[in-house]
Structure 1
């Protein structure tokens, strides 16, 4: 059975690799699409994969890249963030979908943590968003049975959208397939949609080498693609929205709402 049908329980053992296609579709003031192929990791942050020494430069998972970046482990950073919102997993398992550091560099537009209690029941999802200016923001989500939730937009991501509206997210736990969707909802409609879709691969030396050769410097390529498409949009006349001043690592909690009843 595909684990994609069981979003509220741990049924997909980590680690795994996902060969993914990322798409950003803008519909206002005109239609514009960015598509990019890369790969991502599904890991247990308590037990990140131990690769053979020659392969370790291709995948490193550092606590400094997530949350406040001041905890000894990724799990410790997650636990501190959750504690700030009154959530205690009581040692329950966590699945983390992310980009690894490749040759010392990482850029993670979206990292997702599926957080479970000791009995394997999903308690919450954390969506950690990074922008190209070095900022990061964590959304604490309480998804419905279909993996859907809504959160108010509280972080500057694209230079072409102000910080308003809300995100309608569908983030079911990965199984044989990965299928994530994030819609930006504004008063005048749905001007932006991001999707991440992919297929699961076992973590084997051959599979990792093929993906690394097919997508060299994978996270640098993601960052460069976002910047390049931003330049193209700017040259086409899309106005830039002012960026808020520096703020500390931000966080937000979203109540368990569905897109249908979100205000």
Structure 2
């Protein structure tokens, strides 16, 4: 069945998700971590405009995602990634799950962009992964289960249904036909009001900074236990166009969805 934007998205797109992030490593050692954070769900053509006094706690900057010219908008950067693989969505809506800058700092381990055509049909999902200053982008088919990349160390599988009242993301590392690692991001939709933004600065303060610290501590503990670093995809070139890995068996080459 075609995945069309549900009626519930007629309400304002911009929303907050108070999230609980878990990671369970099953091999070669068993290790579990859990932390709280939050993400914004936005329309990249209509990014939130907060009062000036609240802007230090949520700034959305295009330069925090993908590669491009300094004056590019986020939409231009996303369109460039899609166009590099023959995907054109004129008039299509793109919504995204992002962590904004807080007090000048940002940390976006995983950002997701749901790309629709002009009729509101979800055509693909763009996943951007950032680690150690490197950026990697993957174009995923619109189904909930997608395989962005793999290698000799295993295969990663992402489940990324479009957020609604609930957010439920899952990423797994499958190795030798067994799940070695499972990471989840779950949360409940909240209105993006000034009160909610302020409340989150108390319940989940300095979210980007705490995310970066948590990742460093987690990796340090695993190194002490003799676990090798997680496999990383090849580093992207330092210039556009963005390199995107396509799942084998699915191609977005030369696809253009125009209004009917």
8 A contact 1:21–1:36 mirrored in 2: yes
8 A contact 1:41–1:98 mirrored in 2: yes
2:76 is aligned to: 76
Superposition deviation, residue 223 in structure 1: 0.8
SS in 2 for 1:92: coil
- From 166, 179, 188, the equivalent of 1:199 is 188
2:107 is aligned to: 107
8 A contact 2:153–2:231 mirrored in 1: no
Superposition deviation, residue 255 in structure 1: 4.8
Deviations 1:31-87 (A, max 9, x none): 101111011000111110000010000111111111114351111000000000110
What does residue range 244-255 of structure 1 map to in structure 2 within 5 Å? 247-248=236-237, 250-255=243-248
1:3 is aligned to: none
- From 136, 139, 154, the equivalent of 1:165 is 154
Deviation beyond 4 Å, 4+ runs, structure 1? 240-247
1:93 is aligned to: 93
CA RMSD of aligned residues (A): 2.2
Gap regions ≥5 residues in structure 2: 251-260
SS in 2 for 1:151: coil
8 A contact 2:136–2:233 mirrored in 1: no
Deviations 1:169-219 (A, max 9, x none): 211000010001111122252111110000000011111100012211111
What does residue range 118-157 of structure 1 map to in structure 2 within 5 Å? 118-131=118-131, 133-144=132-143, 147-153=144-150
How many residues matched? 241
SS in 1 for 2:49: coil
Gap regions ≥5 residues in structure 1: 1-5, 155-162, 258-263
Structure 2: how far apart are the matches of 1:182 and 1:176?
Answer: 20
